[in-house]
Amino acid sequence: MTARIFPPCCAHLVVMTNFVGLFFPLSAVAHVGLDSPNGGETLTAGSTFQIEWNPTAPHDTINWDLWYSTNSSSGPWTVIALDLPLGNNNTGSPHFYDWVVPGIEATNTWVRVQQDNTAENYDDVSDSSFAIIAAILGDYDGSGTVGEGDFLEWRSTFGDTVAVGTGADGNSNGAIDAADYTVWRDAASTGSGAGSPVTAIPEPRSTELALLAAAVLIVFVRFTPF
């Protein structure tokens, strides 16, 4: 585990440079440990990944910052979240953050957690890099293939509002709706979403079918010339 200490002057520099292109070369004994992602993982763009870290020594901590880099363990860094609540600051107490993985593809990705203190700031970085791969269209349950489990995920969350492109939001409009079933059905029937085609395509329930019909009617009326 490699950690670094940042004088207060460098912490202020972060704000002035809009959080991009920062490198922090100074090193010190760790006061915070990043547990996950810690290297070797493969994350899917648009999915939610739980970042985990813990304090490794008592300190006058104020809050936490999270960053990621697609270049190296030294940055430059892009903000994930700033000024996260302190929470339980006892040594070894777990801290979590649900990160919506950015919609990019990268083979050399790193996460950094920073412990913001009243004096010096400390950080820890993933021990090695991890990858972010493109989302598989129709893979709503995150299994890496398209199958019946994705249909069940769509059906169980039907009508929900979600972060754009996450969960069963196949058309990236922020809602689990009838159009997302169509995205899944097309991917499942052709095998275009990785894996073999699904031979028996599950059908929506009657209420879901009604909404599918309504969606088709809206599209028809919208694009039919008068």
pLDDT of residue 70 exceeding 70, the answer is yes
Decide which of 70, 100, 133 is a domain's last residue.
Answer: 133
Counting residues of the chain whose pLDDT is more than 90, the rounded percentage is: 51
- For residue 155, what are the domain limits? 148-223
Domain annotation covers residue 120: yes
Q: What is the mean pLDDT of the chain?
A: 80
Q: State CA 59 to chain mean position distance.
A: 29
Other beta carbons within 10 angstroms of residue 196's beta carbon come to 10
Residues 168 and 108 in one domain: no
Q: Is 33 within 8 Å of 124 (Cβ atoms)? A: yes
Residues 129 and 199 in one domain: no
Which token pair is 66? 């999270």
pLDDT of residue 202 exceeding 90, the answer is no
Q: How confident is the model at residue 39 (pLDDT cuts 50, 70, 90)?
A: very high
Residues 73 and 152 in one domain: no
Domain annotation covers residue 141: no
Residues 123 and 157 in one domain: no
Domain annotation covers residue 103: yes
pLDDT of amino acid 201: 66
Consecutive H or E run containing 122: strand 121-125
- Region 54-61: mean pLDDT is 91
Residues 177 and 207 in one domain: yes
d(CA 203, CA 121): 55
Other beta carbons within 10 angstroms of residue 25's beta carbon come to 8
Decide which of 133, 163, 192 is a domain's last residue.
Answer: 133
Residues 111 and 16 in one domain: yes
Consecutive H or E run containing 220: helix 206-223
Q: Is 149 within 8 Å of 202 (Cβ atoms)? A: no
Residues 76 and 114 in one domain: yes
Model-level pTM? Answer: 0.64
Q: What is the count of structural domains for the chain?
A: 2
Other beta carbons within 10 angstroms of residue 207's beta carbon come to 10
